[in-house]
Structure 1
Amino acid sequence: MRSGLKVFLVGMPGSGKSTVGKRLAQKLGFHFLDLDALIIEREGQSIAQLFESRGQAYFREAEASALRSVGGLPHSLVLATGGGAPCFLDNMTYMQEQGLTIYLQVTPQELVKRLTAEELSLRPLLKNKSEIELLAYLTETLAHREQFYSRAKLTINTGGITLKAATQALETQVLAILAS
């Protein structure tokens, strides 16, 4: 296994980046990091608090800074990015230069089913929306973000498949790339 390989998972909130990412890292013997958790650790505030106290522009700068801090780490890792991370401050280009980008693709309808009330309350851009508003927001947001997500080296559709199947599909693809 190549030392220092970075695998960046991109996709909408609820696409499985953190859940599948943890499993994939374990299977590959890589470290796992969640970009939002790294931001919280560095900033000393939750994502919701950062949005409220400093605004989205500040959050996006903190997100880009945290992302770039990962590139210099010597060990191989799987990083679950925030849903918007690839869309700001040339983050997608940076991730492509640093390692393997994988888009976990899911329809807005599937995302609405997956996102729990607790998860929605923790996500500033999703909270306090009715199911209809949430579907409309996710559909519109995905339409905008798709131009960034689609630049990923790999796309895996995780809609309607089990966690085990999604992890297996990712592991197979990553191992094939590592072997080439």
Structure 2
Amino acid sequence: MAKLSADEIGATERAAPEREERDPFLTALGERVRTLRLRRGLTRKALAVEAALSERHLANLESGVGNASVLVLRQVASALNCSLAEIVGDETTGSAEWLLIREVLQGRDSEALKRARLALTELFSQTPRDPNRDHRIALIGLRGAGKSTLGRMLADDLKVPFVELNRVVEKLAGCPPAEIHSLYGASAYRRYEHRALEAVIDTHPKAVIASPGGLVSEPATFNRLLAHCYTVWLQATPEDHMRRVIAQGDLRPMSGNDEAMDDLRRILAGRSELYNRADMAFDTSGHSLADAYLQLRGRLAARLAAE
């Protein structure tokens, strides 16, 4: 896909201020693309590379400026690993049955929707419930939530293996996740991530698993995790996330990005609904490491005993 020329970019920039009201459909479409991108933790530049578009073209699409072609939208959908219908609009308007299902679910709170999802999953499941599900504890959340630190402590206490899914991805691919993204793109990384999770489920009937923050954005992989692992969302404030990552010596969140904190907040907001599908949530902010671990261990024991 050819990038926009300087003349095209200039024309678009000149036209934008003159438009008093943007088209509502294009504005909504741009917001959906931006939300999907942030859920996957992708920068605009990274998505532009993955979709073979210019960053300016993608910026115009997200802001509702210009009229993107179907081919461009298909490229973006492919890079985001979602259907074109999810970008263009609501696929649940496509049949009478969908509309009836929507009517039943309309206005329900998140807990009711979760019960409905679990019931539907059980109804259409082709395999019996995994008897080892409660013996695999999967920790999800953004970087800096405490997945590795608390995960190792929990695994030691339970005397089970501790598995960092990123390490399994690296072993399967023969290179670090960052190189997979750089050399082969986000789609290739997602495939390795799914294979890594399958491998862990197959080889570990008992384990504590630290999952990558973006895993929840891939429906097939996340559904697999939820089906085979008791899942815990480790929460923290955006400030704590950032502080902990930097304290670990990783300065990438701040490197060349003056809006890093705003980006982090947007990613967290975009993924919160997905993280909330976990079996339980635990907020690590405002606790010392020892206190956080003791509370997490106690809540896990109580919840699993009640299952």
Q: Secondary structure at the match of 1:148?
A: helix
Hey, what does 2:271 align to over in structure 1?
145
Structure possessing the higher radius of gyration over alpha carbons? 2
Using the aligned pairs only, state the percent identity: 28
- Structure 1 pair 39/127, CA: closer, same or farther in 2 (3 Å)? farther
Deviation of the 1:74 alpha carbon: 4.2
1:126-163, Cα deviation, whole Å (9 max, x unpaired): 47344x42201111111111111011011000112122
Deviation of the 1:174 alpha carbon: 2.0
Q: Contact between 1:92 and 1:148, CA under 8 Å: does it hold in 2?
A: no
What TM-score, normalized to structure 1? 0.88
Unaligned runs of 5+ in 1: none
Distance 2:262 2:303 in 1: 36
Aligned length: 174
Distance 1:127 1:45 in 2: 24
Q: Which is worse superposed, 27-36 or 88-97?
A: 88-97
Deviation of the 1:177 alpha carbon: 2.9
Hey, what does 1:62 align to over in structure 2?
192
Hey, what does 2:299 align to over in structure 1?
173
1:95-137, Cα deviation, whole Å (9 max, x unpaired): 121021000011112112111273344xxxx47344x422011
Structure 2 residue 250 is the aligned partner of structure 1 residue 119: yes
Q: Contact between 1:102 and 1:155, CA under 8 Å: does it hold in 2?
A: yes
Larger strand share, 1 or 2: 1
Q: Contact between 2:147 and 2:210, CA under 8 Å: does it hold in 1?
A: yes
Q: Contact between 1:11 and 1:83, CA under 8 Å: does it hold in 2?
A: yes
Structure 2 residue 288 is the aligned partner of structure 1 residue 157: no
Structure 2 residue 144 is the aligned partner of structure 1 residue 14: yes
Q: How does 1:52-131 map to 2 (within 5 A)?
A: 52-116=182-246, 118-121=249-252, 126=253, 128-130=255-257
Distance 1:39 1:120 in 2: 23
Distance 2:235 2:267 in 1: 13
Unaligned runs of 5+ in 2: 1-130
Q: Contact between 2:141 and 2:147, CA under 8 Å: does it hold in 1?
A: yes
Distance 1:118 1:32 in 2: 22
- Structure 1 pair 120/10, CA: closer, same or farther in 2 (3 Å)? farther
RMSD: 1.9
Runs of 4+ in 1 over 2 A off after TM superposition: 89-92, 117-121, 126-130, 177-180
Letter in 1 for 2:191: E
Q: Contact between 1:25 and 1:77, CA under 8 Å: does it hold in 2?
A: yes
Letter in 2 for 1:43: A
Q: Contact between 1:35 and 1:63, CA under 8 Å: does it hold in 2?
A: yes
Q: Secondary structure at the match of 1:110?
A: helix
Q: Secondary structure at the match of 2:255?
A: coil
Q: Secondary structure at the match of 1:118?
A: coil
Q: Secondary structure at the match of 1:21?
A: helix
Deviation of the 1:75 alpha carbon: 3.4
Distance 1:46 1:127 in 2: 21
What TM-score, normalized to structure 2? 0.53
Q: Secondary structure at the match of 1:14?
A: coil
Deviation of the 1:87 alpha carbon: 1.4
Hey, what does 1:50 align to over in structure 2?
180
Q: Secondary structure at the match of 2:208?
A: strand
Letter in 2 for 1:156: F
Deviation of the 1:73 alpha carbon: 2.3
Larger helix share, 1 or 2: 2
